[in-house]
Chain A
Amino acid sequence: MRRLLPGFILRMSLVGRVALLITGVSGALVVTLICVQDMQMAARQRENIRTRGKLILEGAAAVQSELEAQWQAGVYSPARVREIIALRGEGIAELTIPVVAAWKSARTHPDSSRFRFRTPRFNPRNPNNRPDSVEAVALRTMKKRGTSEYEVIDPADHTLRTFRGLRATSTCLYCHGDPGRSQEYWGNTDGLDAFDNPMEGWKLGEVHGAFEIVQSLDPVDEAITAARAKSLAMGAVLLVVAVLGSVVLVRRNVDRPVRSTQKLLTGAAQRLVETAAAVARSSGQLRQTAHEQSTASQQTAAALDEMSTSVRSNAAAAAKTNALMTRVTGLLGNGRVSMEHLSEAMNDTRTSAANTAEIIARIDEIAFQTNLLALNAAVEAARAGNAGRSFAVVADEVRTLAGRSADASHSTRSLIDESVVRADRSVAINAEVANALEGIHAAIDDASGRVDQMATATSEQAHGIEQIAEAMSLIDRVSRRSVTVGEESAAVAANLQRRASELKGAVAALAGVIDGQTSGKHGQT
């Protein structure tokens, strides 16, 4: 399309082109208007000329009718014509002929300078009246159609030729009728009329020859030329005004908005190109990421499988542990009962030890008293002198026995004390053990509860892992789809990039159209 335009138009700005267009259109309009006006004026002028020709012919016809009427009224007759010829000559006598009177009146018409009057006919008496080619056609046509009017424009000399056919009247037939009646009218037997011309033997009503008005059409052309000059001048003024106005209007209403739009479009196209590139990049990344995600989700699914296995073994272990805990709890109960028995036995030991200690204390007391007794006996023996010597020995033995008894009771007491201390320690340890057992029991209860919780948690975990596995497979599917979508998106982005480049080119081309080619190339970067 652009190749069809000449180079200078391509180099013009939009305003220039619009101005050129408007100039062309309004020029064509003006020319068309002038042509129409020309045609109307030509038609009007032609009509005037035609009317004038007809009027002249009408006038001639009226004169002819008037003379015909005089002939009918008997003012003129062949005899009267012969008298006039005899008296005044043929020249005057011709004036009585209606047709002659008619053409003479036409030739003396005030506007006679504007037309030529002719009376063409075949085989004329006057050689000047021999019809030319146009007249011959006119005569033949009128004869053939039986009409008395004909009009034609002769392009050869640019004239309007108006014909009025002449019908043979009774008056005409005096000279042009049956030659046999020449004796009756004109007193000769040669078939001659009053002017010694042979009678043609016409019949009444026949058309022989015509009146013709030849008017030049040049005045029409002149008028047209004058009017055209005026129109052209006015048209030129109008054209200039229209072009200036349109330039202003186009600048104000078209060029500026188009330029700003073009700027926007340029920016938008640039941004679109960048955006398309960004979309291409991000779809590549999307595809990459989705691929990685797919791989990761598959790995996760595998890990989940392993995890599921371990969770199941956890659940089994928890169940086993729970059973073990129950058994341990039972054993602990037994242990507690045993401890209670032990504690009772210890208390019994303490009681019997206390009883034994009482007995020992009594033995001690007895040993002390025995000792005192033996000492007093020794004192008494000493006082008795020689008499008490053997008694002193007995007292000494008794004292020794008392001392041994006291020693034995002491060691027994210490043994009992020791056993009591041990029993106390045993009781304390027993209490500690009982406490420890209670603690163990509580701990086992706690542990049992926790193992229960663990079992519950494990089953929940297993459930959760199933859900996660489902979710992972969903994620995997989605990731695969994302990969596909990413590829499609990349393809679309590439397409978009191409389209954006095309758009950018188109916008640059638009800039070229708006600014003309050179500045357009400038704006294409």
Chain B
Amino acid sequence: MTPSSIRAAFEGIFSGGKILTFHLGRERYGLPILSVREIVGMIPITHVPRTPAYLLGMVNLRGAVVPVVDTRRRFGMPARDADEKTCIVVLDIGDSGVGIVVDRVTDVTDIAADQIEAVPVPESTDGRTQFVVAIAHDGDDMLMLLDMDEVITGARREAASCTGENG
């Protein structure tokens, strides 16, 4: 991918808007703020039997039932107990939205196009889509920009292809 194509992709996804940043472990990730519906503190999650492993369960958010994804599991990171800083970020996907569990919501920031760098690893050969669209450097810090549609819809797709195995 060329830098211009990356920027194009970045523009396509983030549309020059603000970015919500959060932490999983020591790593910092970024989401386009417009893809976020709401941020809530950790609330009790009801496990639903016979659902894919990355689904932690459901939460009742003001009467709406919202599925919650285990982001760490999805990212292949070790599990971690929730603490007082653990949040659920409800993404604006579908009617009810989808929640992702993050260790900590950090802030809301602006990223300029010249801060964008390409991911310095080859594209995966197994046809899986990359979660990380690009890397932005924010001062000394690094920020991985996520394609959340890919994270969630990719998961659904994978889940559908693996139904036979899991069912």
B47-106, CB < 8 A from A: 84-85, 87, 105
Whether the Cβ atoms of B107 and A379 lie closer than 8 Å is no
Whether the Cβ atoms of B87 and A372 lie closer than 8 Å is yes
CA distance A379 to B33 in the complex (A): 6
Selected contact of B39 from candidates A364, A379, A403, CB within 8 Å: A379
28 CB-based A-B contacts, threshold 8 Å: A365-B84, A368-B84, A368-B85, A369-B41, A372-B41, A372-B87, A372-B105, A375-B20, A375-B39, A375-B105, A376-B38, A376-B39, A378-B18, A378-B20, A378-B33, A379-B20, A379-B33, A379-B36, A379-B38, A382-B17, A382-B33, A382-B108, A383-B34, A392-B18, A396-B108, A399-B107, A399-B108, A403-B107
CB of B40 closer than 8 Å to a CB of A: yes
Main secondary structure, interface of B, reads strand
CA distance A371 to B40 in the complex (A): 11
Whether the Cβ atoms of A368 and B41 lie closer than 8 Å is yes
What are the interface flags for B6-30 relative to A under an 8 Å C-beta threshold, 1 for contact and 0 otherwise?
A: 0000000000011010000000000
Given the interface pairs A368-B84, A372-B105, A399-B107, the reply to whether A382 lies near B34 with Cβ below 8 Å is yes
Least CB distance, B135 to chain A, in whole angstroms: 22
Q: Which 7 A-B pairs have the closest CB atoms?
A: A378-B108, A382-B33, A375-B39, A379-B36, A382-B18, A372-B39, A376-B39
Least CB distance, A463 to chain B, in whole angstroms: 80
> How many positions in chain B have a CB within 8 Å of any CB in the partner chain?
17
Main secondary structure, interface of A, reads helix
Least CB distance, A402 to chain B, in whole angstroms: 11
CA distance A493 to B36 in the complex (A): 135
Least CB distance, B62 to chain A, in whole angstroms: 13
Whether the Cβ atoms of A372 and B40 lie closer than 8 Å is yes
Residue numbers in A under 8 Å from B84 (CB-CB): 364-365, 368
Residue numbers in A under 8 Å from B85 (CB-CB): 368
Residue numbers in B under 8 Å from A379 (CB-CB): 20, 33, 36-39, 108
Residue numbers in A under 8 Å from B40 (CB-CB): 372
A345-391, CB < 8 A from B: 364-365, 368-369, 371-372, 375-376, 378-379, 382-383
From A382, which residue of chain B is reached at the shortest CB distance? B33
Least CB distance, A391 to chain B, in whole angstroms: 12
A245-283, CB < 8 A from B: none
CA distance A280 to B20 in the complex (A): 127
Question: Which residues does A use to contact B, with CB under 8 Å?
Answer: 364-365, 368-369, 371-372, 375-376, 378-379, 382-383, 392, 396, 399, 403
CA distance A344 to B73 in the complex (A): 50
Residue numbers in B under 8 Å from A383 (CB-CB): 34
Least CB distance, B33 to chain A, in whole angstroms: 5
User: Which of A368, A371, A375, A396 counts the most B-chain CB atoms under 10 A from its CB?
Assistant: A375
CA distance A371 to B41 in the complex (A): 10
Q: With A375-B108, A379-B36 given, name 18 new contacts (CB 8 A).
A: A368-B41, A369-B41, A372-B40, A372-B105, A375-B20, A375-B105, A375-B107, A379-B20, A379-B37, A379-B38, A379-B39, A379-B108, A382-B17, A382-B34, A383-B34, A392-B18, A396-B108, A399-B108
Residue numbers in B under 8 Å from A364 (CB-CB): 84
Residue numbers in B under 8 Å from A368 (CB-CB): 41, 84-85
CA distance A364 to B33 in the complex (A): 25
Least CB distance, B126 to chain A, in whole angstroms: 35
Residue numbers in A under 8 Å from B41 (CB-CB): 368-369, 372
CA distance A378 to B34 in the complex (A): 10
From A383, which residue of chain B is reached at the shortest CB distance? B34
CA distance A378 to B84 in the complex (A): 21
Residue numbers in B under 8 Å from A378 (CB-CB): 18, 20, 33, 108
CA distance A383 to B107 in the complex (A): 16
Least CB distance, B93 to chain A, in whole angstroms: 15
CA distance A249 to B33 in the complex (A): 164
Residue numbers in B under 8 Å from A382 (CB-CB): 17-18, 33-34, 108
Least CB distance, B15 to chain A, in whole angstroms: 11
CA distance A399 to B40 in the complex (A): 15
Residue numbers in A under 8 Å from B34 (CB-CB): 382-383
CA distance A118 to B47 in the complex (A): 211
From B37, which residue of chain A is reached at the shortest CB distance? A379
From A373, which residue of chain B is reached at the shortest CB distance? B39
From A400, which residue of chain B is reached at the shortest CB distance? B107
User: Which of B37, B39, B105, B108 counts the most A-chain CB atoms under 10 A from its CB?
Assistant: B108
Residue numbers in A under 8 Å from B107 (CB-CB): 375, 399, 403
CA distance A383 to B36 in the complex (A): 9
CA distance A392 to B20 in the complex (A): 13
CA distance A364 to B18 in the complex (A): 27
Residue numbers in A under 8 Å from B38 (CB-CB): 376, 379
Least CB distance, B43 to chain A, in whole angstroms: 12
Residue numbers in B under 8 Å from A403 (CB-CB): 107
Least CB distance, A80 to chain B, in whole angstroms: 222
CA distance A299 to B39 in the complex (A): 105
CA distance A382 to B107 in the complex (A): 14
Least CB distance, B18 to chain A, in whole angstroms: 5
Least CB distance, B147 to chain A, in whole angstroms: 19
From A378, which residue of chain B is reached at the shortest CB distance? B108
Least CB distance, B53 to chain A, in whole angstroms: 28
CA distance A219 to B155 in the complex (A): 201
Least CB distance, B91 to chain A, in whole angstroms: 11
CA distance A503 to B36 in the complex (A): 147
CA distance A383 to B41 in the complex (A): 21
Residue numbers in B under 8 Å from A369 (CB-CB): 41
From B108, which residue of chain A is reached at the shortest CB distance? A378
Residue numbers in A under 8 Å from B105 (CB-CB): 371-372, 375
CA distance A371 to B105 in the complex (A): 9
CA distance A399 to B106 in the complex (A): 10
